[in-house]
Amino acid sequence: MNTPNNYLNAVRQILQHLEQTQLPAIDRAADLVIDALAHKGSIYCGEIGHGIQGDFVNRAGGLAATKALKDSSALKPHDVLVIGSVSGRNVAPIDIALAARQRGAKVIGLTSLAYTAKVSSLHPSGKKLSDVADVVIDSGAPYGDAAVDIPGFEHKLLPVSGVACAVIGHLLWGRVMEKMAAADNPPTVFQSINREGGQDFYKKALAQFEQRGY
């Protein structure tokens, strides 16, 4: 057994799943984001699991428009919320997604359909995240999330949902950038502040975003 190779193989299977089955959903999600930006809406990243959403906010090469969700009461019509739950069953993300939709915002849900099919909801409504999102993107993580057999352990180990959700997010933002640029209306993006001239670029980009709203 070779644990590094086995984990890399598990990640390759996730990437293959995303490439072969989830690009249409990512495209639909990109359209929600583009429509929100066209209407001066905000793009919020809620909890996606173990801090993964932090890789989408204020990032080099990322959209200036993405921001962390600190209070669901801030959501309004024309906003978009990206939120995740690998099992899809937990109360908090479902509550936040329902609150977002009640406030007129759109919800992009990141979950594992294989996992959520095998568990019952913990939410009083009986709904899962896949039931309350406008667009569902399936991470492809297996039931239980862990994906690798290691001798000496009874259960599979090493989760793959974090890798999957990080890739999904950047595929989504990249598609938004691509479609808006093709329409001659590229969104504001950031570069690394550690590049030569990076601080100046960041300040100019931030000023552009604050002026345009996207």
**Domain of 150?**
3-212
Encode pLDDT of 175-214 as tens digits: 999 999 999 999 999 999 999 999 999 999 999 999 999 9
CA distances from 112 to 107, 137, 202 (A): 16, 8, 35
pLDDT of residue 108: 98
Encode pLDDT of 5-54 as tens digits: 999 999 999 999 999 999 999 999 999 999 999 999 999 999 998 899 99
* 161: pLDDT strictly greater than 80: yes
Q: Are 22 and 132 in contact (CB under 8 A)?
A: no
Q: Are 98 and 91 in contact (CB under 8 A)?
A: no
Encode pLDDT of 58-115 as tens digits: 999 999 999 999 998 999 999 999 999 999 999 999 999 999 999 999 999 999 999 9
pLDDT of residue 30: 98
pLDDT of residue 1: 59
* 171: pLDDT strictly greater than 80: yes
CA distances from 193 to 196, 197, 202 (A): 8, 7, 7
Give the number of domains in the chain.
1
pLDDT of residue 41: 97
The end-to-end CA distance of the chain, in Å, is 49
Encode pLDDT of 119-143 as tens digits: 999 999 999 999 999 999 999 999 9
Q: How confident is the model at residue 3 (pLDDT cuts 50, 70, 90)?
A: confident
CA distances from 92 to 43, 143, 161, 210 (A): 19, 20, 18, 31
CATH number, domain containing residue 203:
3.40.50.10490
pLDDT of residue 4: 85
Residues paired with 157 in a beta bridge: 148
